[in-house]
Amino acid sequence: MRDRFEDLTLAGPGLLLIALAFLLPLFEMFRLSIVGPGGGFTAEHFVRFLTDPYYLGVVWRTISLSLLITAICAIVGFPLAYVMSRVGPRLRLWLIVLIILPLMTSVVVRTFGWMVLLGRGGLVPFTLWKMGFVGRNFTLMHTEAAIVIGMVQVLLPFTTLSILGVVMKIDRRLEEASRTMGASFLATLRTVVLPLAMPGIVAGSLLAFTLSVSSFITPSLLGGVRLPVVAGSIYDAATKTLEWNFAAAQSVILLVGVLVVLVPYMKLSGRRNG
């Protein structure tokens, strides 16, 4: 009993913090989402969001862009993680550092970099123009392409590291066996490594998708006001139009959507660790 009391004392401050500053805010969000203007229960905030074609368009944009971003991250992340896992330890350390550096840099700073690169006269449109791919100097800012480029850069390190953790644990003798049996390198990659790396790819993709649907700093700065996403709509309702109940309802919808994706993620990553 005294052991338990000791551990409870140790974990106590943390439990208090999580309960008061994490669970209670989530509870408050639920409460506000179903409270009407005059008090009492109402579903009007949910109905308003789910029946307005404008907001349904916002949801559709968020989901379709996130699917595209997630797919690109997985397709680029898998070969990158494979190469990282099969190089020498020194080079791997350097590659990991180069991947972690952007991951740990503020999202605002990275988005700023893309604003410079994609804006009118920026390096990317300018190069495309000079190389003759486009007829005139133009801007990529405030396009869906800009959101995708910016978000892939933000999420690719996540996906890559998540896949790397799994690929590193694949027994290399399986690859050697496949090669000895006459399979080519690409065939081995496809039939041996890829299936074994799948848990990492799926876990990384699920995480990338949840982060993508809920991000708003990069989409709002690169996409502008004409291309709102769900998280941006929540932010506007909470801080610009001050419709807190409506913002709370949208947050609940986002949370439910995220949890639907996160539950399989936790099963996958839990099995990997346990």
Distance of closest approach, residue 243 Cβ to another protein, in angstroms:
12
Nearer to another protein, 135 or 180 (CB): 180
The DSSP H or E segment spanning 65 is helix 53-86
Provide CB contacts within 8 A for 87, sequence distance 6+.
95
Provide the residue type at 178 as one letter. S
Nearer to another protein, 102 or 144 (CB): 102
Among 143, 107, 139, CA closest to 123: 139
Residue where the block lists tokens 């949370």: 255
Tokens matching residue 264? 């399989």
Distance of closest approach, residue 83 Cβ to another protein, in angstroms:
6
Residue where the block lists tokens 């996130």: 66
Tell me whether residue 263 is exposed, middle or buried, using C-beta atoms within 10 angstroms of its C-beta: 0 to 12, 13 to 18, 19 or more: exposed
Nearer to another protein, 135 or 237 (CB): 237
Cα(75)–Cα(269) distance, rounded to whole angstroms? 20
Tokens matching residue 168? 């590193």
Distance of closest approach, residue 75 Cβ to another protein, in angstroms:
11
CA atoms within 13 A on the CB side of 8: 5
Cα(146)–Cα(156) distance, rounded to whole angstroms? 15
Distance of closest approach, residue 199 Cβ to another protein, in angstroms:
13
Nearer to another protein, 48 or 179 (CB): 179
Nearer to another protein, 53 or 273 (CB): 273
Nearer to another protein, 135 or 173 (CB): 173
Cβ atoms 141, 222 nearer than 8 A: yes
Distance of closest approach, residue 109 Cβ to another protein, in angstroms:
4
Distance of closest approach, residue 197 Cβ to another protein, in angstroms:
13
